[in-house]
């Protein structure tokens, strides 16, 4: 397959958002996406960009993304977080996910990070196997902890 991987541009964000929504549907959370094209454009391409995004294109259509940002670990220092790696369903199994992950790891090396990290759902066996085959460790003894907007509000109300 003749696809190209490149850094995203501001104008790519409508198609990037489409893939984010496709991922949410795959992960059984179709109503969980609140981010807008405008937010993606501002947060990725404004005065202080907070993420980098690779896009994979085929015939000028975006068929895959890998969205990353820098984090800081008190143990490791600068790390790179892969927020989402998404390949359109019709292109899964084509090697595109591997190529996107390759670019993320190369970016991590270029940025001199000590770790690249991401999450994977425990029921997504194909993704877990894919990551393990690339040498990633799955930390099964850790739990992901979050406060959503409502949780933040409730927390603050208890102060």
- Respond yes or no: is residue 69 known to be catalytic: no
Q: What is the DSSP string of 88-142?
A: -GGGTTSSHHHHHHHHHHHHHHHTT-S-EE----TT-HHHHHHHHHTT----TT-
58, 72, 131, 155: the active-site residue: 131
CA distance 76 to 118: 15
Give catalytic residues, as residue numbers.
131
């Amino acid at each position: 397959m003749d696809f190209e991987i490149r850094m995203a541009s501001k104008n790519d964000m409508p198609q990037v958002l489409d893939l984010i929504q496709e991922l949410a549907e795959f992960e059984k959370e179709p109503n969980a996406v609140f981010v807008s094209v405008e937010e993606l454009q501002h947060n990725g391409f404004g005065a202080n960009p907070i993420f980098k995004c690779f896009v994979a294109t085929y015939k000028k259509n975006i068929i895959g993304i890998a969205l990353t940002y820098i984090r800081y670990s008190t143990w490791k220092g600068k790390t790179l977080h892969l927020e989402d790696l998404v390949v359109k369903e019709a292109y899964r199994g084509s090697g595109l996910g591997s190529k996107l992950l390759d670019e993320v790891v190369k970016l991590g090396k270029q940025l001199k990070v000590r770790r690249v990290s991401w999450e994977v759902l425990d029921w997504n066996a194909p993704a877990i196997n894919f990551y393990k085959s690339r040498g990633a460790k799955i930390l099964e003894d850790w739990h992901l902890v979050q406060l959503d907007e409502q949780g933040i509000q409730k927390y603050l109300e208890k102060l």
